[in-house]
Structure 1
Amino acid sequence: MKNNNPIKISEILKAKNILDGKIVTTPLIYDFYLSKKFGSKIFYKAENIQRTGSFKIRGAYNKIYNSIKNDKPAGILAWSSGNHAQGVAEAANIFNIKSTIVMPKDAPQNKINGTKSRKANIVFYNRKTENREEIGNSIARKNNLLIIPPYDDPDVIAGQGTIGLEIIEQISKYDLFPDKVLVPTGGGGLIAGIATAIKNKFNNTNIYSIEPNKFADYSKSIKNKKIYKNNMNNQSICDSLLANQPGEMTFNINKNLIKKGLTVTDKQVLKAIRYAYMNLGLILEPGGAVGLAAILNKKTILKNKTIVIVLSGSNIDTKVFKKAIQ
């Protein structure tokens, strides 16, 4: 298959050096209980304990670093339901640059609070009737702000790809290679970066996108080899994965790297959050728990497989967390 991937492994390696000392090298955690139960080797890449509570700071910091070498902007702008918002705001603070975030009115309060605590200026919009990109682009033009896209950007994807480099290094210490890697998927930037890094080293590894079943645009798009849009009137507790559709850049990467898209229900996600808390001592937000939900519900063959599940975030709404663990 011809490789048309615009993201080169050299760019991910460069991002790793840029991020050194700025982020947490998150652990790869072995699940003894589920591994024994399913006759497999199950690991978790714990980005839920990353700085800001999600993987997003990796791409945000890498993008800002590479964008301000020659010309420092008046400020930074991003659109996000919360995790990218906090990652961008945190990274902007490191560079001593002001940030503006376009957020949906129905974003979880804890993510709004986390973004405010990082001194970001928040502009709210209605995700069902307004277009966040149009709002953001208009503000950026008027105020000379640098836009940090949530996923459809080479520097952002390369930053997220450093997770894949860490997985390679960490699992190699067990003298293993991953048969399967499960990645929470919204716009597709996280899985594009991870898949690029993993497949460069382990070409036989199968990469799976995991989504809420009512927002299965990536699953449908990969299966049919064309971009499908979500019905934004649908609802899911997985707020961090509710993209309108796959990014054009991410889809062009992922269509050649993803084996299959898997989906889970909100009920299955709640049970996964409970399992992570009760059995692993980990706090996961709904979007960060979809891969674990897929494993708990045997959405793919597990026996005699080495499986890595990316836990992408921990920024869970208090009410949702209480509902999950009660």
Structure 2
Amino acid sequence: MTDDTVPSFGMDAIREAAKRLAGRAVRTPLLNSPMLDDLVGGRVLVKAECLQLTGSFKVRGALNALLALDEDARRGGIVTYSAGNHGQAVAAAARRVGCPAVVVMPRDAPRIKVDNCRWWGAETVFYDPETEDREEVAEKILQARGMTLIPPFEDPRVMAGQGTVGLEIAEQARELGLSPDTVLVNCSGGGLAAGVITALNHEFEGLANHIVEPAGFDKMARSLATGRVCSNPRPPGGVMDAISGPVAGARPLAVLSRHEVTGLTVTDEEALAAMSVAHRLLKIVVEPGAAASLAALLAGKADVQGRTVALVASGGNVDPAVYRRALSD
């Protein structure tokens, strides 16, 4: 059952990733709040990946990709580019297997994400998103040092690792006697969305699939509409750095194009309001980009009346000042 458009990606790859990650990644809880259900008029199941190792789902894909490498490649070290969460994941995965790692980050990356990458032992290299291309910066390091690139979303092994989030949602929903009929996934490059939507559509029929992006910077929705990879016109700025990468992923786009996917967008203010709701009703810390799907739900951007909705709270690495702003608004 391999997706023909993306070699080595599909349900078999997701199941293999689940085996690799067993005992290494956290089986995060699937949360529900009757008060949240009442707010939106449906049953809401929130996959709390903010409680994952490194505070983000990203470690699933990074660790799966690294474990799939041969020993020579691991010894040579790995390089990646990231706004922060994937960088932390690669750093943690590299430390777990004892190999060097370099993370190329935008110069304005949140301090907490920079510090966390360094805590895990990675070297951080900064670039200017206004004038430099992060892939070119990473490529220079790769060539100079003989390292292996593990990109944030354009690797089938990374996508398969992220797909284990969807596999777990399906297992946990069934344990509750529930069958989701709607799914919302925060989207930047599209690795998480491709993995989760692939897994859930395999497990449940007739799903309504939604991706959620920052308002005005919906590069994946535009990519799906045009059938070609689209970029953001400029760095978005704002608070949703986790889903503000410059370009949609070609491989995730190929996968998402096989499903009927609706693109939704949210504003910074809506994301901050969703963070406050997550704190108040679910008792979890969610960063702005990771709160995008919940924000779309709370803003009524998807019809979920009487439906069972699954969404991913994809990370919790938020600067204290931003979190204070979310709770005080």
- Paired with 2:202 and 2:5, the residues of 1 have a C-alpha distance of 11
Q: 1:219 touches 1:263 (CA, 8 Å); kept in 2?
A: no
Determine whether 1:242 maps to 2:244: yes
- Paired with 1:218 and 1:272, the residues of 2 have a C-alpha distance of 22
Give the counterpart of 1:269 among 271, 288, 304.
271
Bigger mean CA deviation after superposition, 162-171 or 174-183? 174-183
Give the counterpart of 1:169 among 135, 150, 171.
171
- Aligned AA for 1:65? L
Bigger mean CA deviation after superposition, 201-210 or 41-50? 201-210
Equivalences for 1:111-130 in 2 at 5 Å?
111-130=113-132
Q: Could you tell me how far 1:236 is from its partner in structure 2?
A: 2.2
- Paired with 1:78 and 1:225, the residues of 2 have a C-alpha distance of 27
Between the two proteins, what is the percent identity of the paired residues? 36
Question: Partner residue of 2:94?
Answer: 92
Bigger mean CA deviation after superposition, 143-152 or 253-262? 253-262
Question: Partner residue of 2:135?
Answer: 133
CA deviations on 1:202-236 (whole Å, 9 max, x unpaired) are: 13112211011032111222233333221124322
Distance 1:37 1:72, change over 3 A: closer
Q: Could you tell me how far 1:33 is from its partner in structure 2?
A: 0.7
- Paired with 1:259 and 1:156, the residues of 2 have a C-alpha distance of 21
Q: 2:36 touches 2:281 (CA, 8 Å); kept in 1?
A: no
Q: 1:75 touches 1:98 (CA, 8 Å); kept in 2?
A: yes
CA deviations on 1:72-125 (whole Å, 9 max, x unpaired) are: 332111111110010000000010001111111000001111111111111110
Q: Could you tell me how far 1:71 is from its partner in structure 2?
A: 4.5
Determine whether 1:225 maps to 2:227: yes
Bigger mean CA deviation after superposition, 189-198 or 34-43? 34-43
Q: 2:235 touches 2:246 (CA, 8 Å); kept in 1?
A: no
Determine whether 1:81 maps to 2:90: no
Q: 1:179 touches 1:306 (CA, 8 Å); kept in 2?
A: yes
Q: 2:107 touches 2:128 (CA, 8 Å); kept in 1?
A: yes
- Aligned AA for 1:106? D
Determine whether 1:9 maps to 2:19: no
Bigger mean CA deviation after superposition, 290-299 or 38-47? 38-47
Question: Partner residue of 1:197?
Answer: 199
Give the counterpart of 1:188 among 187, 190, 208.
190
- Paired with 1:204 and 1:228, the residues of 2 have a C-alpha distance of 28
- Aligned AA for 2:321? K
Q: Could you tell me how far 1:40 is from its partner in structure 2?
A: 1.2
- Aligned AA for 2:54? T
Determine whether 1:147 maps to 2:145: no
Question: Partner residue of 1:299?
Answer: 301
RMSD: 1.5
Q: With structure 2 as the length reference, what TM-score do the two structures score?
A: 0.95
Secondary structure, in 3 states, of the residue corresponding to 2:75?
Answer: coil
Q: With structure 1 as the length reference, what TM-score do the two structures score?
A: 0.96
Determine whether 1:41 maps to 2:33: no
Secondary structure, in 3 states, of the residue corresponding to 2:216?
Answer: helix
Secondary structure, in 3 states, of the residue corresponding to 2:272?
Answer: helix
Give the counterpart of 2:30 among 28, 31, 49.
28
Secondary structure, in 3 states, of the residue corresponding to 2:211?
Answer: strand
- Paired with 1:40 and 1:71, the residues of 2 have a C-alpha distance of 47
Determine whether 1:254 maps to 2:247: no
CA deviations on 1:35-71 (whole Å, 9 max, x unpaired) are: 1233311110000100000000000001011112564
Distance 1:34 1:20, change over 3 A: same
Distance 1:139 1:261, change over 3 A: same
Question: Partner residue of 1:101?
Answer: 103
Q: 1:269 touches 1:293 (CA, 8 Å); kept in 2?
A: yes
- Paired with 2:269 and 2:260, the residues of 1 have a C-alpha distance of 25
- Paired with 1:44 and 1:289, the residues of 2 have a C-alpha distance of 11
- Paired with 1:232 and 1:279, the residues of 2 have a C-alpha distance of 35
The aligned length equals 325
- Paired with 1:210 and 1:71, the residues of 2 have a C-alpha distance of 35
Superposition misfits of 4+ residues, deviation over 6 angstroms: none
Q: Could you tell me how far 1:319 is from its partner in structure 2?
A: 1.1
Which sections of structure 2, spanning at least 5 residues, go unmatched? none
- Paired with 2:310 and 2:71, the residues of 1 have a C-alpha distance of 36
- Paired with 1:258 and 1:46, the residues of 2 have a C-alpha distance of 25
Equivalences for 1:209-220 in 2 at 5 Å?
209-220=211-222
- Paired with 1:257 and 1:143, the residues of 2 have a C-alpha distance of 40
- Paired with 1:210 and 1:79, the residues of 2 have a C-alpha distance of 22
Secondary structure, in 3 states, of the residue corresponding to 2:185?
Answer: strand
Q: 1:60 touches 1:159 (CA, 8 Å); kept in 2?
A: yes
